[in-house]
Chains A and B, each alone.
Chain A
Amino acid sequence: MSKHRFVRAAIVAAALFTAAPGVTAEAGSHDVDLVGGVAPVVRTDHLLSPLRYSGAMPAFGVLWTGEGERASNRVGLDLVLGGLRSGPDWTYTRDGETIEAGPTGTTLVDLRYAHGRRVVDGAWTVQVGGTFVTHLEQHYYPYGFTGVSNYLGTLTLSPWAEASVDLGKRQHFAVEAWVPLLAWVARSPYAVHDDEYLWHNRDTNPVFIAARYIGAGSLASPLSYQSGHLRATWSLDVSDHLAVLVAGRLDALHLTDPSPLTELQFGTNAGLRGSF
């Protein structure tokens, strides 16, 4: 299958997955979680620098969950925006003018769909299924005097599992995890800015640019791409339709092609859950 056909197939699959809740969800509850918090991120991307960049950035998330008798669907969007640093900001001079070398500009986006079926229904409830995740990263490294943008986009299919338990009448705890088995990876080239990359930036429409980036990717083998993801959520019902929640996340990513990248993203969020 050509890479462009794969991308089209993946996008269609994502659209079908996203449409699926209306078709497959059985009568049951619908929850919407709105959370905000802080996401500490640590990454070393040898495409850009041998240094370790880190920082705690504002994070936002929204998650819809449709729970049926035996199955569930969920669609979520997570956004992290901010800057990472390899150390304190510093200054240099150019023709007598003092110039500051500042932090990177970093944007991390996750859009995911998961479908699960209940396989254990006791004190603990366990669901297993699959998830399709689109993960996008855009980074701007200022290097003091010149800026370099780069990107990473992955479309992954993963087995997915969630275990949840009621901690009394009003408290609940859930943990979910997934490890991608199939990944389409689009990443800046070895030379970071080659002419093909520059041509992809030939207009100012970010949707077209992102589509060109993703289209330029390829299937990644498990030897060149590894990631793992964990989510944990504690919630406290304050009424029949409202709960407060605290959520934690851990995302680990490692790529070797065309240069090593290691990234850890932690997250601590708090927010509200509306049930209807």
Chain B
Amino acid sequence: MRTSSILALTLTAILGTGCLAAPSDSPVDNFEAIWQEFDEHYGGFDDRGIDWEDSYERWRPQLDEGSSEDELWGVLTGMLAELDDGHVKLVAPGREFFDANEVYRDKIDDDSFDLDIVREHYLSDERVELWGDELWYVWGEVAPGVAYVWFNWIDDNTYVIDEIVDSGVEHIIVDLRHNGGGAYTYALHGFGRVTAEDVDVFRSRSRNGPAHDDWDEWWTTTMPARGETFDGALTVLTDAWSMSATERLIMALQEVEGVVTVGVPSNGSQATMIGREAPNRWTYSLAVQEVEGMDGSRYEGAGIPVDIEIRNDPDVLAGGTDEVLEAALAL
């Protein structure tokens, strides 16, 4: 047999399997594909009290093969909004980004935190690091012997904790308000200075099959001790915008003895998210895990509670007083 014939046969066989064929693309097909992907991958049904079959029964009949793109968008965003999950998002060409989380979507209490107020009214000897044009972190003193550090997101910027600890301060206030996440693995290493020994901080399991009870084994994450241990006070500020990997860092720091959290409970979206695509190329994301503290506590949906609950009044904040930071300073 000639080489060209063998090549042709091979390609025909592979392409003939349909593995490389494009999926069908009607409004119903797209609804079915997205609903199915959530059914087979989403990890938050139990924690968020969602009956996904019921969602299908209520939303699917609102579409038929003649439905418009706007109707498909309306049905999908309506269904996904019920999850109220900070890791569930939907985008489509020419449309405004959709966030299934009410806090982020409706910008609830967005005016309860203002870094500029902290910088203008509290911070001295300020040190700033940029990531491109964006602030990466800001730290300085907010009172004698008291350091304040704010991260725009968490990553290996958390290694600045070395500089702060080595400055000899007695109290560090870590501001994680309005912090939407990042890479907690770096952050746990960065904050390894605050623990004298390795500490197990949370565990998670991820979907590994299409059934709702298909989970892999629980995976325990450890915050590794690193360098000379900081033996002063550590206070963590949180709000409902503290989300995702940032919530993992909060969970980790709560496992360290003596750490105090101040503010309002976090967003309640700790599970890791992945991206997906519908047949019509709309993209969306979903969370694929269950996460719990080492004592079995679950915060997905509910948010991580704080030791001292206090909410900034926007009017007071606008006047230059950050009541949450003041509460931390009073500790």
User: Residues on A close to B: CB < 8 A?
Assistant: 42-44, 48-52, 86-87, 90-95, 99, 101, 141-148, 175, 189-196, 198-199, 201-202, 204, 228, 230, 232, 250, 252, 254, 258, 260, 262, 264
With A92-B93, A194-B204, A195-B289 known as contacts, the answer to whether A202 contacts B272 (CB < 8 A) is: no
**Which of B12-20, B47-55, B230-238, B320-328 is near enough to bind chain A?**
B12-20
SS class of chain B's interface: helix, strand, loop or mixed?
A: mixed
For B89, what are the chain A residues with a Cβ–Cβ distance below 8 Å? 145-146
With A195-B219, A254-B19 known as contacts, the answer to whether A50 contacts B289 (CB < 8 A) is: no
- For B274, give its contact among A42, A52, A92, A148 (CB under 8 Å): A148
For A230, what are the chain B residues with a Cβ–Cβ distance below 8 Å? 7
Nearest CB of B to A44, in Å: 5
Nearest CB of B to A190, in Å: 5
For chain B, residues 251 to 309, give those with C-beta under 8 angstroms from any C-beta of chain A: 272-277, 279, 281, 283-285, 288-289
- For A87, give its contact among B7, B14, B94, B281 (CB under 8 Å): B281
B10 with A228: CB separation less than 8 A: yes
- Interface contacts (Cβ under 8 Å), in number, total 143
B219 with A260: CB separation less than 8 A: no
For B206, what are the chain A residues with a Cβ–Cβ distance below 8 Å? 189-191, 194-195
For B330, what are the chain A residues with a Cβ–Cβ distance below 8 Å? none
Render B6-38 as a binary contact track against A, CB cut-off 8 A, 1 for contact. Answer: 010011001001011111000000000100000
Nearest CB of B to A54, in Å: 9
**What size tier do the contact residues of chain B reach?**
35 or more
CA distance A196 to B204 in the complex (A): 9
With A144-B91, A195-B204, A254-B14 known as contacts, the answer to whether A50 contacts B23 (CB < 8 A) is: yes
Beyond the given A191-B274, A192-B274, please list 12 additional residue pairs across the A-B interface where CB-CB is below 8 A.
A50-B23, A52-B21, A143-B284, A146-B285, A191-B43, A193-B274, A194-B272, A195-B272, A198-B183, A202-B186, A250-B7, A254-B19
CA distance A156 to B326 in the complex (A): 62
Q: CB of B124 within 8 A of chain A?
A: no
With A44-B19, A191-B288, A199-B221 known as contacts, the answer to whether A264 contacts B279 (CB < 8 A) is: no
A141 with B275: CB separation less than 8 A: yes
For A146, what are the chain B residues with a Cβ–Cβ distance below 8 Å? 89, 273, 275, 285
Nearest CB of A to B253, in Å: 17
